[in-house]
């Protein structure tokens, strides 16, 4: 019983910004994989090249990566 309680305490509690960040970074990683492998930019294909909406998506992906970079110090607390 005591071991199970310790495992539950060690779990990282993920809030909705954490999940959104996770999804955006996955989308960004997949997009860059497509660009590198087959020269296809999915975000540009969906929202248009150099459009405001595409730039917003790229910005959100970048901000999400920064958020995840700062997350490890939060996990230890």
Per mean pLDDT, which range of 22-31, 49-58, 68-77 is the poorest? 68-77
Q: Which two tokens stand for residue 30?
A: 């997949």
DSSP label of 76? T
- State whether the Cα torsion 40-44-47-49 is positive or negative: negative
**Given the structure tokens 């296809």, which residue do they identify?**
40
Residue 19 has a pLDDT of: 87
Query: Whole-prediction pTM value?
Result: 0.71
Q: Which of 69, 68, 54, 52 is CA-nearest to residue 17?
A: 68
Q: What is the pLDDT of residue 70?
A: 84
Question: Distance between CA 64 and CA 42 in Å, rounded?
Answer: 18
């Amino acid at each position: 019983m005591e071991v199970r309680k310790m495992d539950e305490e060690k779990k990282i509690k993920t809030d909705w910004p954490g999940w959104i960040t996770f999804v955006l970074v996955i989308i960004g990683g997949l997009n860059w994989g497509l660009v590198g492998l087959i020269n296809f930019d999915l975000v540009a294909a969906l929202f248009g090249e150099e459009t405001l909406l595409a730039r917003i998506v790229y910005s959100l992906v970048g901000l999400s990566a920064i958020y995840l970079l700062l997350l490890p110090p939060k996990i230890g607390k």
